[in-house]
Amino acid sequence: MDATVNPSKSADSAPQRLTVDVAISGGGFVGGALAVGLARHGVRVAMIDRVDPAVALDRGFDGRAFAVALSSQRLLAALDIWPRVKITEPIRHIRVSDGDSLFFLHYDHADLGDEPLGYMVENRVLRTALASAITAESERIVRLTPATVIGLTQGPDRATLALADGRMVDASMVIAADGRTSTLRELSGIPLVGWKYDQVGIVATIGHARPHDGIAHEHFLPAGPFAILPLADEYGADGTSQHRSSLVWTERADAAAGYLALPEKTFLAEIDRRVGGFLGELSLMGPRFSHPLGLQFASRYVDRRLVLTGDAAHGIHPIAGQGVNLGYRDVAALIEIIVDAKRLGLDLAHPAGLARYERWRRADNLLMATACDLLNRLFSNDVAPIRIARDIGLSIVNRLRPVKKLLMRHAMGTVGDLPRLMRGEAL
Ligand SMILES: Cc1cc2nc3c(=O)[nH]c(=O)nc-3n(C[C@H](O)[C@H](O)[C@H](O)COP(=O)(O)OP(=O)(O)OC[C@H]3O[C@@H](n4cnc5c(N)ncnc54)[C@H](O)[C@@H]3O)c2cc1C
């Protein structure tokens, strides 16, 4: 007999076989937000993740901070996740510069109104907020963590996930939110296209003597973009405060290991050389992290009773800080489609709904993935004619206010066929 969802279920106490409306593999930013959003609209969910949440909340787990676009912030607010995000820093300006060139492009949020272009949020802070929102919806979310999905059966009426510990989860729909190396994508045989970049993203949090003034810097160097992203000041117990920024330093793959192994003082000197001194004296505020970079795109987003979302469907270059923002658009679209189906009494995974998701999300994701790929290719080199052409381009766009405004709206994620939850509308 099927077990029903029980609010107090944990990985240890959950039954061997459980039945829910939707089973989500992956409880990262995308899977977690999906679980919360569906549960808040009456859908019973199982969320499975192979990582223990306590481990994922540790400072040393992932040192990234995310540029959360305005449309993503609206979604998180609608799902009651954003009010739980305790530390954020608004991005009020973005300044794009190219090596030593005097030409630059400056986006100012005030050109569009009062709202910032987005917010910087540290990984740990966003995860803490998500965990709290998941707990608040525990009546409809069974959280199975740590547990690993290893099998998928797609039947006519339901799909079944097999977990490594022997448990089974039956659901009307299964969602892959299990990241770039998606097990569900592989199990369903959906091919992947893409390539590796010969680049690594070095990530670190730095302290600095001068304030960042809410400016996100994208400084293009021959090895790749060097991003300095504003974080909220950190306050010590003695009342002192420290200015901070998050770095995403894209470096050639063959050179990155050498930089990562440098003694702290030399590592900071390399950073300072790239920053150009405008932040004053620098310090390192935690471990260094590295991420190999690549572009990948699933050739289909849906299969029988299965939907791919987030990085399981599309992994892009972090040059514009849009990866998880695309994932949040998948989340908002999918919640809308599932909730509409539920209200109409339809099968949650009815083929027309799945086809709508595929049409809605693939084109948008492909456009952003291609734009990021082209930007990276255009700027990550020191070929003189290309450098001159792109610098002229930067300076022209900087003077064309309508074009600048359109590009800013793209960065804010407020352009295109937005799901209702991103337009500030209730479902
Ligand atoms: C250097 C860098 C900087 C970035 N900066 C930004 C930024 O500023 N803004 C932005 O929007 N994006 C940014 N991104 C992209 C962003 O990190 C990703 O798009 C985002 O993490 C994808 O979220 P996700 O939930 O889809 O996948 P993931 O974060 O990969 O989560 C997948 C989850 O699935 C779980 N899982 C995997 N396999 C299984 C299994 N078999 N069973 C159970 N659980 C499983 C994992 O444990 C994990 O918790 C950046 C990326 C990089 C590399």
| Residue 13 confidence (pLDDT) above 70 | no
Two tokens, residue 180: 């770039």
| CA atoms of 279 and 210, how far apart (whole Å) | 5
CA of 180 to the centre of ligand 1 (A): 7
The DSSP symbol for 84 reads: G
- In a domain? residue 136: yes
| Average pLDDT value for the chain | 94
Secondary structure class of 204 (helix, strand, coil):
strand
Site to probe by mutation for ligand 1, drawn from 57, 64, 200 as the one with most ligand atoms within 8 Å of Cβ, is 64
CB 170 within 8 A of CB 16: no
Site to probe by mutation for ligand 1, drawn from 49, 250, 293, 331 as the one with most ligand atoms within 8 Å of Cβ, is 49
Q: Which residues contact 136 (CB under 8 A, 6 or more apart)?
A: 80
60 exposure class (CB count in 10 Å sphere: 0-12, 13-18, 19+): exposed
| pLDDT score at 8 | 35
CB 58 within 8 A of CB 32: no
| Residue 7 confidence (pLDDT) above 60 | no
| CA atoms of 235 and 243, how far apart (whole Å) | 9
| CA atoms of 257 and 130, how far apart (whole Å) | 33
DSSP codes joined into one string, 112-173: T-SS-SEEEEEHHHHHHHHHHHHHHTTTTEEEE-S--EEEEEE-SS-EEEEETTS-EEEEEE
- Kindly report, residue by residue over 282-298, the tens digit of the pLDDT: 999 999 999 999 999 99
Two tokens, residue 391: 């610098």
- In a domain? residue 8: no
Segment 177-189 mean pLDDT: 98
| pLDDT score at 5 | 45
- Kindly report, residue by residue over 218-238, the tens digit of the pLDDT: 999 999 999 999 999 999 889
| pLDDT score at 59 | 81
Ligand 1 near 330 CB (within 6 A): no
Ligand 1 near 323 CB (within 6 A): yes
| pLDDT score at 15 | 67
Outline where 21-122 has alpha helix (H): 29-40, 53-56, 70-78
- In a domain? residue 287: no
Segment 116-124 mean pLDDT: 96
| pLDDT score at 2 | 40
- The residue nearest atom 6 of ligand 1, judged by CA position, is 321
The DSSP symbol for 226 reads: E
- pLDDT category, 100, cuts 50, 70, 90? confident
Ligand 1 near 63 CB (within 6 A): no
Q: Which residues contact 217 (CB under 8 A, 6 or more apart)?
A: 94, 95, 97, 226, 227, 228, 229
Number of domains in the chain: 1
- In a domain? residue 247: no
| pLDDT score at 1 | 34
Counting every residue, how long is the chain? 427
| pLDDT score at 333 | 98
Ligand 1 near 251 CB (within 6 A): no
Residue 29 Cα: closest atom of ligand 1: 25
Segment 195-207 mean pLDDT: 97
Share of the chain above pLDDT 90, in %: 90
- In a domain? residue 44: yes
CATH of the domain at 80: 3.50.50.60
CB 134 within 8 A of CB 36: yes
- In a domain? residue 317: yes
- In a domain? residue 278: no
Ligand 1 near 130 CB (within 6 A): no
- In a domain? residue 149: yes
Nearest to 5 by CA among 141, 124, 133: 141
Query: Helices 29-40 & 70-78, crossing angle to 10 degrees?
Result: 40
Residue 293 Cα: closest atom of ligand 1: 53
| CA atoms of 86 and 89, how far apart (whole Å) | 10
CB 410 within 8 A of CB 320: no
| CA atoms of 251 and 311, how far apart (whole Å) | 22
Question: In terms of residue numbers, what domain contains 133?
Answer: 17-88+120-194+295-381+417-422
- Kindly report, residue by residue over 294-317, the tens digit of the pLDDT: 999 999 999 999 999 999 999 999
CA of 265 to the centre of ligand 1 (A): 31
- Kindly report, residue by residue over 140-158, the tens digit of the pLDDT: 999 999 999 999 999 999 9
CB 45 within 8 A of CB 23: yes
